[in-house]
Amino acid sequence: MKREKGLLIVLSGPSGVGKGTVCGALRQHDTHIQYSVSATTRNPREGEVDGVNYFFKSKEEFKRMIEENELLEWAQYVDNYYGTPRKYVEETLASGKDVILEIEVQGALQVKKTFPEGVFIFLMPPSLKELRSRIEGRGTETKDLIDSRMTIAKEEIDLMDKYDYVVENDEVELAVERIKSIVTAENCKKERLIHIYKELVEE
C-alpha cells in the first residue's frame, strides 16, 4: 500500500566514522531508499564524482544557495560548507519514497527542527583511537586539521542524546544490517500507518 509520505532517514556522526561508505553499501542493499546528494565547498577526494558523491560548489555559489533558501540545512565545518538541496528531498518524500541524508551533526540538528518526524541515526566509531586512524588513513589532511576534527568529534558524540538510534560502525555490513532493521521497524510504526487503515475501514 502506497504511503502518502516517505520516511526521512538522517544518518550523521563524526568526520571519519564512515558515513559515506555505510550509505553507499546501504544503497546497494536497499534500492528503495533514495539518496540525497549533498552540496559542499570542499575539494573532491580521489574517485569522487560531482553530482554522485556531492555537488561540488564554490563558496560564492554555496552562499547564493543559502540566500535563496535552496538548502534544507547547511553547516560550516573545518573551513568548508556542507548542505542539503531542499527541492529533491521534499519532492521525493511527497511521492511516498524514503530518503536518506548523510550529513554532519550540525545539519542533522537543523533538520530535526523542520522534520521532527524523521528518523535520526548517529553512527559511532568503535573507539576514538580507531576514528583517528581512519582519518589519518585518508592521507588528505595535516596533523593540525586531524587534531581539529578529533576535538569536534568529541563535541559531536556529546550530542548523541538528540538522536533516536545509535549504530556502531565496527564493520560496514553489520552497520548496514542494523540500519535496515531500524528503517523496517520505523516504516511499521502504527503512527505512520494508522490513518491509512482507518480510511480502509471507513470505505
Q: CA 54 → CA 36, 41, 50, 138, 187, distances in Å?
A: 9, 9, 6, 18, 27
| Residue 2 confidence (pLDDT) | 56
* 153 located within any domain: yes
| Residue 52 confidence (pLDDT) | 84
List the grid coordinates of 166: 545509535
* 44 located within any domain: no
| CA 7/CA 75 separation, integer angstroms | 23
| Residue 7 confidence (pLDDT) | 93
* 148 located within any domain: yes
What is the count of structural domains for the chain?
1
Reading the chain (203 residues) residue by residue, the pLDDT tens digits are: 556 789 999 999 998 899 989 998 998 887 789 998 889 999 998 899 998 889 999 999 999 999 999 999 998 887 899 999 998 899 999 998 999 999 889 889 989 998 999 999 999 999 999 999 988 887 778 889 899 889 999 999 999 999 999 999 999 999 999 999 999 999 888 887 877 777 777 76
* 117 located within any domain: yes
* 62 located within any domain: no
Residue 160: domain span: 8-36+97-202
* 85 located within any domain: no
| CA 119/CA 100 separation, integer angstroms | 9
Q: 3-state class of 9 per DSSP?
A: strand
* 60 located within any domain: no
| Residue 177 confidence (pLDDT) | 96
* 65 located within any domain: no
Q: What CATH number is attached to the domain comprising 198? A: 3.40.50.300
